[in-house]
Amino acid sequence: MTEQLYYEDHYLRSADAVVTALSDGAIILDRTIFYPEAGGQPGDRGTFGPYEIKDTRKGEDGEILHILADGSAHPSIGDRETLTLDWDHRYFFMKEHTAQHLVSALLFSDAGIGTVAVHHGEDGFTIETDKAEIDDAVLLRIEDSANDAIRRRLSVWQDEVGHEEAESLGMRRSIKVSGRVRLVHIDGVDVVGCGGVHVSSTSELGEIAYVSSERIRGHVRTFWKCGERAVEYRRLNASVLRSLSVIFSSEPENVADAAARCVHEIQQLRHDAAKLSEKVASLLLEAARGKTLDGKTVIFSSCVATRYYEGLIGDDDGLVIVADEEGRFLFHGAKDRFEGLRAAMPGIRGGGRGTFYRGSFEGSADGFLSACRSLFSGNGRIEKA
């Protein structure tokens, strides 16, 4: 089995290693500083001499697989090269993983909230809890406690104990492995079984920010950021708030109320505009009915959207075709007439059922309607070409 140097020193960035086996685009080494993906923490990436390693995972037999980049040449068994971590990638997830431990511990100790699942990503981490509802005030209080722990520069360390001893500690989550157990301690805050890699002090986390929450599978899933991502998030929020304050001519603390008033006014204006459009549609339809080709066939253009006519055209109306300036049409008539229109004008798209059919056309409304008038005779049948 591969010697796991990353447990001896989480900060080790390079080490020599020898290829002991090859496995479907991956290499197995006698020793490694690359952590394999596990527990929601992504696997490491970097280089092995001239070879690029894009990921590190565990195989079905527990061997650590160093996944080579697509198209990369393969080393041979027995080759010795220097492993070099993509340190920015590793250190980011060391911090994020430790931050997740800290937040999960505080959720449990301060609010009685357990962790069901976690996920780590480039933009932040999530903690799915065992609760169906959590007030935001509780999560903000956890954020405060987490940042206090960062300021107190608490030590973080790992050790390994027997399974029985680990069980006697009454940890916040059950032990998922047999045999000896690797424990992660955050001084005075948490101890839990974990095989990941972590920073040595909470001070390295910088800051932690609570972002949002959502319901999933009957649980609350919470979203968090730490370190540089938390700083970016805080600065982005501040920048957006400053911009909105200018747009709404409002103090920052009053922006939400100003935005709510604006949304309400827009909704009212849309409602009023819809009512006016319905009135315009009614007047245009009445005017078009007065200029029918045969008393039953009505073909005309509209300055308002065709959707406003659907409630105005009834069973007593004959063939009605209306087109708007956005390239949409509404057809009222028998299905065979619509199918005949579509066959005669392949450029139109649309469909429907009963006596109503909707769709779009290419070109101008005047051109489309002119073609419709030429296709239909006074009895509402399509003229033969």
CB 326 within 8 A of CB 308: no
**Torsion angle of the four alpha carbons 225, 230, 233, 235, in this order, in degrees rounded to the nearest 10:** 170
- Round the average pLDDT of the chain to a whole number and report it: 92
If we measure between CA atoms, which residue out of 187, 189, 191 comes closest to residue 160? 191
Q: What mean pLDDT is predicted for residues 117-136?
A: 96
CB 325 within 8 A of CB 305: no
Percent residues over pLDDT 90 in the chain: 78
Q: What mean pLDDT is predicted for residues 195-221?
A: 96
- Distance CA(9)–CA(32), nearest Å, equals 11
CB 47 within 8 A of CB 83: yes
Domains of the chain (ranges; CATH) run 3-85 (2.40.30.130), 91-246 (3.30.980.10), 278-375 (3.10.310.30)
What single-letter amino acid sits at 26?
A
How does pLDDT run across 224-242, given as a tens digit for each residue?
999 999 999 999 999 999 9
Q: β-strand 349-353 against 328-332: which pairing, if any? A: unpaired
Q: What is the pLDDT of residue 177?
A: 77
How does pLDDT run across 324-338, given as a tens digit for each residue?
999 999 999 999 999
Q: What mean pLDDT is predicted for residues 63-91?
A: 94
CB 330 within 8 A of CB 310: yes
Phi, psi of 116 (to 5 degrees): -95, -45
* pTM, two decimal places: 0.77
